[in-house]
């Protein structure tokens, strides 16, 4: 990878962090990145996108574009990871049995390769709106049982912090986890499968 690539990505992450930091205690800004490498033309053709997550703080979410879709990468707190199992009885597909919604290597409670880092296509499975990131606990508008997740503003679907949809929502299934793999500790390649996995 060239020096230019690294510099560009560092600039992006710095900008993303400052936007989130200024968003206040409740709302969390979701920066959208349209200029990640490789080129826009290659991306449109479906090329993998490499994302530097070295500065991604717990609770923070960044958005990149892959195959014309927003892909979220966020770092879950230990508490958020621990809370996932407690939600199972309220979810449509807690065990991620619908195979179309994630690669085999993410068919687990956290729907991820590493519990801490979540990678997900940020598109509601109802009619395709982009849900809002709501990581806070028990906000007034989402109720006392809310343990962080995503709320779709179009028709009210709710998802947990693994993208699993709650029961009795307009959305029928969990949000999509794309193929991805880690390239060392601090880099994620969206669009390439985890080594050795189908």
Q: Which of 19, 29, 129, 142 binds ligand FES (CB under 6 A)?
A: 129
Annotation marks residue 155 as catalytic? yes
Site for ligand FES (CB under 6 A): how many residues?
12
DSSP 173: S
By beta-carbon proximity to ligand FES, the closer residue of 10 and 155 is 155
Q: Which of 51, 152, 162, 188 binds ligand FES (CB under 6 A)?
A: 152
Least Cβ distance, residue 127 to ligand FES (angstroms): 4
By beta-carbon proximity to ligand FES, the closer residue of 124 and 190 is 124
Lay out the sheet containing 149-151: strands in order across.
132-134, 149-151, 158-160
Give CA–CA dist 37/115, Å, rounded.
26
The site map against ligand FES for 166-185 (x = CB under 6 A) is ----xx--------------
Instruction: Answer positive or negative: Cα dihedral of 180, 93, 144, 30.
Output: positive
Q: Does 155 bind ligand FES (CB under 6 A)?
A: yes
Pick the catalytic residue from 27, 32, 155, 197.
Answer: 155
Q: Which parts of 65-124 interact with ligand FES (CB under 6 A)?
A: 124
142, 150 in Cβ contact below 8 A? no
By beta-carbon proximity to ligand FES, the closer residue of 47 and 162 is 162
Which residues contact residue 110 at a Cβ distance below 8 angstroms, ignoring those fewer than 6 apart?
A: 76, 81, 84, 118, 162
Q: Does 137 bind ligand FES (CB under 6 A)?
A: no
Q: Which residue has 């990505």 as its token pair?
A: 9
Residue 109's region, left for phi above 0, alpha for psi from -120 to 50, else beta, is: alpha
Least Cβ distance, residue 78 to ligand FES (angstroms): 29
Give CA–CA dist 185/25, Å, rounded.
29
Calculate Rg over the CA atoms of the chain: 16
Which range touches ligand FES (CB under 6 A), out of 22-30, 69-77, 96-104, 126-134?
126-134
Annotated catalytic residues are: 155
In the complex, the residues that contact ligand FES under the rule CB under 6 A are 124, 126-129, 152, 154-157, 170-171
């Amino acid at each position: 990878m060239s020096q230019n690539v690294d510099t560009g990505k560092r600039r992006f992450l710095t900008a993303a962090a400052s936007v989130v930091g200024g968003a206040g205690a409740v709302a969390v800004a979701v920066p959208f990145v349209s200029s990640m490498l490789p080129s826009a033309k290659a991306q449109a053709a479906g090329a993998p996108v490499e994302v530097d997550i070295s500065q991604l703080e717990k609770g923070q979410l960044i958005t990149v574009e892959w195959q014309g879709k927003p892909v979220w990468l966020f770092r879950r707190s230990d508490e958020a990871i621990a809370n996932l199992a407690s939600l199972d009885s309220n979810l449509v597909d807690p065990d991620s049995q619908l195979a179309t919604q994630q690669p085999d290597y993410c068919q687990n409670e956290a729907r991820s390769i590493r519990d801490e880092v979540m990678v997900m296509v940020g598109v509601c499975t109802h009619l395709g709106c982009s849900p809002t990131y709501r990581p806070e606990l028990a906000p007034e508008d989402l109720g006392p049982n809310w343990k962080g997740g995503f709320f779709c503003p179009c028709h009210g679907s709710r998802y947990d912090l693994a993208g699993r949809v709650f029961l009795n929502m307009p959305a029928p299934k969990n949000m999509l986890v794309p193929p991805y793999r880690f390239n060392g500790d601090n880099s994620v390649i969206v669009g390439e499968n985890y080594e050795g996995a189908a």
